[in-house]
Structure 1
Amino acid sequence: MKKYIIYVASFVGAALLQTGCYDDKGDYDYHDVNTMEIVIPETKLRMPKEEAVEVSIMPEISQTLGQNEEDLVFQWKRLNSNATLGSDRLIDYTNYSVGKECKITVEPNESNNIGLMLVVSDKKNGTVWYQQGQVTIIKPFNPCWFILQEKENKGMLGAIEGTPEGYYVYPDVFQSEAGTMFPLDGKPLAVTARREYGGDRASISIMPPIFGLKIVPILTLVTDKDAALFTPSTLEMMYKSDKILFEPVQQGKTIKIDDYKMDKNGELFVNDGKSYFAYMDGFCIPYSIKSETGDYLSVSTYGSYGTGLVFFDSSTHSFLSGQALSGFNDYMNVSYYKSKPIRSGSSKWTDANPITASSIDLDEEGGAFDPNHIDPSLQVKDIITGGSYGNYAYAVTAPFNGKELTVFKFSADWENEDPTCAAKYTIAVPSEVDVETAKFAASYAYTANIIFMASGNKLYRINLDRGQVTELYAYEVDSSAQIASLKFKDPESVREENDEEAEGEYKEKLGMCLGLGINTGEKGVVVEIQLTMAGDISREERSICVYEDPNQPIGKIVDITYNYELE
């Protein structure tokens, strides 16, 4: 039996209260009149998939003078499909039902919130009150942590749906939602969700719809033998590796995925030693990564700084730069004319737009390090993006079994006149940290040079400018536990000055909320930690939440990702 918790809260909207006064023609004498407060419970319902669901809404009525409701008439109105949710115009509503209780039928796959208005009339004196309400339709797995697990060298996708106030643990969503097995063969490698998959919003917004450049939410699953993109709320597969890694498929080669990474500028696939890059245009058409001399490159990771890309070439121990799509012409020339025909099936894949990874020229004003001559003893652990609205990339390196990190900072912060090779930091790490297995993360929400590290059962904050490593959290239930994945809910979220206050605060919290996928001796758990602007753990209630359910245990965690979709 499902234990899914539908979280119901009551709120008091701005009820439209009307107060009458009576004129005694010369001698003013004010009489108390009946006023009313209407509370419509906020109802949240998970989107039904197979059968319609009926929900009942019963408002709470309080009157200043009235002792009963015999003289009240209740008229419920439903928002028209073409009207804006929250409208206070009566013309935007259609009469729905009469009576205090309102029963709403939610049809299968209904994903739009249902707007309501209750009109209460007093037959005795003709006074009318109005109150808005709604039925909020929660898309499945919105919000949720998706959890990629490994079981007998095969993948399994779980989810934790909801919030610390109410959540449900799904160990196997393909089984529970569709009655099917995990759809990919091979050893699981990575899971990634993005609420805006499909390119630069500013560029796409000026394009006519016929260009097909549409921003959609996406869920990507990757194993060493396969990869696929899904719609998060329905788990419907959009396309699989045979429609992504076109070159090896056309050559009749077996898919052998070594590495995968997605960030705001695109996706890196490393297949059988060869690297491909798919621009963030929503089509997922990977092209080869080549050097300036035309040689194919194999890079295991990349990062973004602004619209720039940075790769590491282990064969030459040097960093290389590339350029992401930016602006109308880029999206037209690459996405519309080259990628879209391939995705639609009207053209055969060719290496029409390979990424050129070029040597980084030291700026005229110089740089903090030479990107073309990196110490051969250093191994690149990750390249993470953060700070200054995503204008910084931090390449985290360490010697084999070493006890210090060397972090190379790349900058696209032209306003501060930063050189591209902006800074180099050497940080000593605590003796218990295993740099070979440590995980790293950064977020746009932190303008200072702050990154985060997980090793063993502990989470650390690294202040690069001060050279400080501070332990923030330890999973004390099991000191031998291992943090397998470290990710912000949305590392690209940062509060904008022109944001609405509530949205801005929400975005800010997403950019400062870390998720830890932790493996213990018996099970996997997900820990969610809310941080402050200084990178400390928040003192707010539920700032640390351990998601687990003894009756629905999570298995061995490989990777986690957070999915959310805002209207």
Structure 2
Amino acid sequence: MRKYIICIVSFIGAALLQTGCYDDKGDYDYHDVNTMDIVIPETKLRMPKEEAVEVSIMPQISQTLEQNEENLVFQWKRLNPDATLGSDRLADYTNYSVGKECKITVEPNESNNIGLMLAVSDKRNGTMWYKQGQVTIIKPFNPCWFVLQEKENKGVLGAIEGTSEGYYVYSDVFQSETGTTFPLDGKPLAMTARREYGGDRASISMMPPFFGLKIVPILTLVTDKDAALFTPSTLEMMYQSDKILFEPIQQGKAIKIDAYKMDKNGELFVNDGKSYFAYMDGFCIPYSIQNEDGDYPSISAYGSYGTGLVFFDSSTHSFLNGRALSGYGDYYTVSYSISKSVRSGFYTWKDQHPIVAYTINPDDEEGSAFNPNSIDPFLQVRAIVTGGNGGNYAYAVTSSQNGKDLTVFKFSADWENEDPTCAGLYTVSLPSEIDVETAKFAASYAYTADLLFVVSGNKLYRIDLNRSLVTELYQYETDPSAQITCLKFKDAENEEELGMSLGLGINTAAKGVVVELQLTVAGDVAREENSICVYENSDQPIGKIVDISYNYE
């Protein structure tokens, strides 16, 4: 067993220096009372994986009338497993150890913080003082930027653990954490880390626990030959492509993934030209996407807005609508009744619940800005991104091949403002240095205005659709030939700080670099210290970056 002695002598905030509570034992003689301050040092430990770790906690005690501690008795109490962390109820604690030093054994894979309470009594007058503390268990890779890399047409997963104030770079986490190589065959395509995987929290909370619908953090890795979901903190595989893309597996066909995308309403898989969609219910059971006639459209892009889905059918050059799960009834009839049964092996997968992609009729709504069924055949959809007003808007970004003008179609689920579905049409002229063939786009819920963000070459730009204005925000000046290959907000579905913190994956001639930018409410790069952080470590070099994604729990 490894032994960690935690001895922290540092600046302690005023809140920690406040006098603890005490029990008055009834001595009402008028004389000076020996009071004391108790400080329990902050104790953090990275979750052990293979063997238990012993943590030693030594409180700092100061008394007003005594110079030594011979008059004191120390009783440590540990929070009961079913009690709430931070509880001040004595009934929520069980006596753990006696003595000033407290030794806590943290078992492998223990991920929950350990709540403590120290009771200090003065033997001379029976006065008792209490102070709460805890051992904070830091889950591995929480928070972190996961970095998907490519090396010799194979995947490598790296991570940048911590924050701009202190971080560690892992160039290959499967090797360093598990002693294994990247577990998927094929050329890496995409990656997504998601804090809440498993649907609508309000709807799921209404369901009995035996339904088995849970919201958990996940990490998804996708190559052109494979896909799998993992638990981020342990890198344990939950299920692989043979338990996800059921149809081609049943037909004995090799997996050939052309595209993958996850957002708040579900996951799109395009395998060997056929499109499948899995609802955001936590089971990842994809069914085929069909149109109203039962045919299979050629879906090349997908996005969400509100509880709606929008697909682009490249065969008909039109946008189609779908509906996400939204409420107790949907989760019961789909997730519990069908998907859970398939995932548990009770039912054999059948394409019995195809996702229907409907034609959008602009004539049904007054004020439609465009006809979604008649998109200029010269326009190519570069991306569909979700942002603004709590995720009620989806922006389909298009351009002609090698063109310098963007045409952006805005879809809205903002019923309060009585927006039509086809709510906006924008044309924006791009600076000459932006290459639309390789440019990447992003949006965030944090911005209520119609703002998009785009990277090309070594630069980041903001696009204000309402003003048709493109503004350069950042340039990676260390290497003018560098290519920003991807951009993602820490949490694009967060309407506060995490939704305004943007990560860039940058490839230089020699290495990969991750840059984190803190943006303002106006979409500018903040001017405060540490608003721009370049993550790199020469001892743990990052290779060619394919994708990045932020994990926090």
The verdict on a shared fold, with TM-score over 0.5 as the criterion, is yes
Q: Distance between the aligned counterparts of 1:100 and 1:331, measured in 2? A: 52
Distance change >3 Å, CA 278–CA 7, structure 1 → 2 = farther
Where does residue 528 of structure 1 map in the other structure? 516
* Structure 1 segment 1-40 matched on structure 2, within 5 A: 10-11=12-13, 12-13=15-16, 14-16=18-20, 32-40=32-40
Which residue in 1 is equivalent to 2:3?
A: none
Alpha-carbon distance, 1:121 to partner: 2.0
The aligned residue for residue 322 of structure 2 is 322
Q: Which segment drifts farther, 182-191 or 323-332?
A: 323-332
CA distance in 1, matches of 2:376, 2:264: 29
Q: AA paired with 2:497?
A: K
In structure 2, what is the equivalent of residue 438 of structure 1?
Answer: 439
In structure 1, C-alpha distance between the alignment counterparts of 2:28 and 2:221, rounded to whole Å: 72
CA-CA distance at 1:31 after TM superposition: 5.8
Taking structure 1 as the reference length, the TM-score comes to 0.92
Distance 2:172 2:268 in 1: 27
Instruction: Identify the residue that residue 338 of structure 2 maps to in structure 1.
Output: 338
SS at the partner of 1:301? Answer: strand
For residues 232-251 of structure 1, the C-alpha deviation after alignment (integer angstroms, 9 at most, x for no partner) is: 11111111111111111111
Other-structure match for 1:223 = 223
Q: Distance in 1 between matches of 2:68 and 2:228?
A: 60
Is 1:546–2:534 an aligned residue pair?
yes
Provide closer, same or farther for how the CA distance between residues 431 and 22 of structure 1 changes in structure 2, counting only shifts above 3 A: same
Q: In the alignment, what sits opposite 1:518?
A: 506
- Structure 1 CA distance for aligned equivalents of residues 145 and 19 of structure 2: 37
| Shift >6 Å, 4+ stretches | 6-9, 19-24
Residue 70 of structure 1 corresponds to which residue in structure 2? 70
The aligned residue for residue 365 of structure 1 is 366
Q: CA deviation at 1:7?
A: 12
Counterparts of 2:7 and 2:295 in 1: how far apart (Å)? Answer: 56
Q: Which residue of 2 aligns with 1:466?
A: 467
Alignment CA distance shift 1:7-1:384 (3 Å): farther
Mark the CA change 1:18 to 1:464 in structure 2 (over 3 Å): closer, same or farther.
same
Structure 1 residues 23, 39: closer, same or farther in 2, change over 3 A? Answer: closer
Equivalence for 1:136: 136
Q: CA deviation at 1:47?
A: 0.6
Structure 2 residue identity aligned to 1:343:
R
SS in 2 for 1:414: coil
Q: CA deviation at 1:272?
A: 0.6
Shift of residue 104, structure 1, vs aligned partner: 1.3
Bigger Cα displacement from structure 2, 95-104 vs 463-472: 95-104
C-alpha spacing 1:97/1:210, structure 2 compared with 1 (3 Å): closer
CA deviations 1:471-490 (Å, max 9, x no partner) are 11111111111111110111
2:546 aligns with 558
What's 2:395 paired with? 394
Give the distance between the partners of 1:288 and 1:392, measured in 2 at CA: 25
Shift of 1:22: 9.4
Shift of 1:336: 2.1
Partner residue of 2:86?
86
Give the 3 Å change call, closer, same or farther, for CA 75–422 of structure 1 in structure 2.
Answer: same
Distance in 1 between the 2:246 and 2:22 partners?
67
Classify the secondary structure of the residue corresponding to 2:416. helix
Deviates more, 1:251-260 or 1:123-132: 123-132
Q: What SS does structure 2 have at the residue aligned with 1:415?
A: coil
Structure 2 residue identity aligned to 1:530: Q
Cα distance between partner residues in 1 of 2:430 and 2:498: 27
What are the superposed Cα offsets for residues 375-400 of structure 1, whole Å, 9 maximum, x if unpaired? Answer: 11211110000111110001111111
Matched residues in 2 for 1:22 and 1:239: separation?
65
* SS of residue matched to 2:330: helix
Q: Is the 8 A contact 1:140 1:233 kept in 2?
A: yes
Q: Counterpart of 1:562 in structure 2: which amino acid?
A: Y
1:193 matched to 2:181? The reply is no
3-state SS of the aligned residue for 2:203? helix
**Residue aligned with 1:350, SS:** coil
Cα deviation code 1:357-376 (max 9, x no counterpart): 12111143131111111111
Question: Which residue is 1:477 aligned to?
Answer: 478
Normalised to the residue count of structure 2, the TM-score between the two structures is: 0.94
**Cα pair distance change 1:481/1:91, threshold 3 Å:** same
SS in 2 for 1:249: helix
Distance 1:98 1:335 in 2: 50
Distance 2:182 2:234 in 1: 14
Task: Identify unmatched segments of 5+ residues in structure 1.
Answer: 1-5, 25-29, 495-507
- How far apart are residue 291 of structure 1 and its match? 1.7
Q: CA deviation at 1:32?
A: 4.9
- What SS class does the counterpart of residue 299 from structure 2 fall into? coil
State the 1:351 CA deviation.
Answer: 1.0
Map 1:233-252 onto structure 2 (within 5 A).
233-252=233-252
CA-CA distance at 1:307 after TM superposition: 0.7
Rounded to whole Å, the distance in 2 between the matches of 1:239 and 1:7 is 42
The Cα shift of 1:67 comes to: 3.0
Deviation at 1:526, TM superposition (A): 1.1
Deviations 1:109-155 (A, max 9, x none): 11111111112222333332211110001111111111110000000
C-alpha contact 1:17 1:36 (8 A) present in aligned 2: no
8 Å CA contact retained: 2:297, 2:315: no
SS of residue in 2 equivalent to 1:381:
strand
The 8 Å contact of residues 17 and 37 in structure 1, kept in 2 or not, is answered as: no
Shift of 1:217: 1.2
Distance apart, 1:276 and its partner CA: 0.7
Counterpart position of 1:451:
452
Of stretches 422-431 and 117-126 in structure 1, the one that deviates more from structure 2 is 117-126
Q: Is the 8 A contact 2:27 2:125 kept in 1?
A: no
Kept after mapping to 2: 8 A contact 1:456/1:481: yes
Q: Which amino acid aligns with 2:528?
A: E
Give the equivalent residue in structure 1 for 2:178: 178
1:67-95: per-residue Cα shift (whole Å, max 9, x none)? 33332322221112222111111222222
3-state SS, counterpart of residue 332 of structure 1 = helix
Q: Find the counterpart in structure 2 of residue 503 from structure 1.
A: none
**DSSP 3-state at the match of 1:491:** coil
Q: Deviations over 1:267-307 (max 9, x none)?
A: 00001111111111111111111122221122122000111
8 Å contact from structure 1 (residues 270, 298) kept in 2: no
- Tell me the distance in 2 between the aligned counterparts of 1:37 and 1:180: 49
Distance change (3 Å), C-alpha of 1:64 and 1:466: farther
Where does residue 294 of structure 1 map in the other structure?
294
Question: Aligned partners of 1:539, 1:105: CA distance in 2, in Å?
Answer: 44
**Offset at residue 33 of structure 1 (A):** 3.6
Give the alignment's Cα RMSD to 1 decimal: 2.0
Q: 1:458: Cα distance to partner?
A: 1.3
Distance 1:34 1:472 in 2: 60
Displacement of 1:18 in angstroms is 5.6
Q: Which moved more, 1:278-287 or 1:329-338?
A: 329-338
Task: Compare 472-481 and 187-196 and name the one that shifted more.
Answer: 472-481
Q: Which runs of 5+ in 2 are unaligned?
A: 1-5
Read off the aligned partner of 1:161 and give its amino acid letter: E
Partner residue, 2:127:
127
Shift of 1:23: 7.6
Separation of aligned partners in 1, 2:531 and 2:35 = 41
CA contact (8 A) 1:16 1:130 kept: yes
Equivalence for 2:489: 488
1:137-174 deviations in whole A, cap 9, x for unaligned?
A: 11111111111100000001111111122221111111
Note if 1:49 corresponds to 2:37. no
The equivalent residue for 1:413 is: 414
Aligned length: 542
